[in-house]
């Protein structure tokens, strides 16, 4: 008699397991840098600049500013700077020099009235920024009223 012995061992070793681990490490590395930009709502009022968040990831950032007044027109200038919010280069009457030493002007929402909204989109790199209302008004008594000196400046961080 003749007997046949069949060996049916089919061990297929999946070598793709190692590749899957490498891929997940690469994805984790990309998510850690805080990129992305986004939208920042900002409230402008007498006399404060109040962003809804203190920071955002770098990239295209859209600022949507609402003038809550109650009485004055406001604007919003974006400076990249390491100077403090009260240390920006300004004239005696309180107008920030938008081309001054230590500040880089990144963009501006021009002056608009209470109850209205202004928008700007800027491409921002990581760093420290200050948002300012740079209006200096002529008062009826002949004096000047600087919105910056009255308190309309705030620090904002881009990660």
Q: Which is nearer to Cu ion, 65 or 133 (CB)?
A: 133
- For residue 46, CA distances in Å to 43, 82, 95, 133, 146 come to 10, 25, 16, 10, 11
Of 34 and 115, the one with the shorter C-beta distance to Cu ion is 115
Q: Which is nearer to Cu ion, 37 or 94 (CB)?
A: 94
What does the binding site for Cu ion look like in residue numbers (CB under 5 A)?
74, 133, 135, 147, 152
Q: Give least dist CB 147 to Cu ion, A.
A: 3
Tell me whether residue 126 or residue 137 sits nearer to Cu ion (CB atom). Answer: 137
**Smallest distance, Å, CB 26 to Cu ion?**
47
Residue 80 or 147: which CB sits closer to Cu ion? 147
CA distance 6 to 153: 84
Smallest gap from Cβ 111 to Cu ion, in A, equals 8
CB of 45 to Cu ion, least distance (A): 8
Q: What residue ranges in the chain does DSSP mark as E strands?
A: 38-45, 48-51, 55-56, 59-69, 74-81, 103-112, 117-124, 127-132, 136-138, 144-146, 153-158
Q: Are strands 153-158 and 127-132 parallel, antiparallel or unpaired?
A: antiparallel
CB of 78 to Cu ion, least distance (A): 14
Q: What are phi and psi of 83, to 5 degrees?
A: -75, 155
Q: Yes or no: say if 88 and 81 are a contact pair by the CB < 8 Å rule.
A: yes
């Amino acid at each position: 008699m003749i007997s046949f012995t069949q060996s049916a061992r089919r061990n297929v070793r999946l070598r793709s397991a190692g590749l899957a681990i490498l891929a997940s490490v690469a994805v984790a590395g990309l998510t850690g840098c805080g990129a992305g930009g986004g939208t920042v709502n900002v409230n402008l009022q007498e006399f404060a600049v109040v962003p809804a968040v203190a920071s955002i990831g770098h990239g295209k950032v859209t600022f949507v500013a609402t003038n809550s007044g109650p009485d004055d027109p406001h604007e919003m200038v974006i400076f990249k700077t390491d100077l403090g919010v009260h240390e920006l280069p300004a004239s005696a009457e309180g107008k920030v020099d938008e081309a001054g030493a230590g500040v880089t002007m990144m963009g501006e929402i021009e002056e608009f009235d209470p109850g209205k909204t202004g928008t700007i989109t800027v491409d921002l790199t990581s760093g420290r920024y200050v948002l300012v209302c740079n209006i200096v008004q002529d008062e009826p008594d002949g004096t000047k009223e600087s919105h910056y000196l009255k308190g309309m400046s705030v620090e904002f961080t881009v990660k």
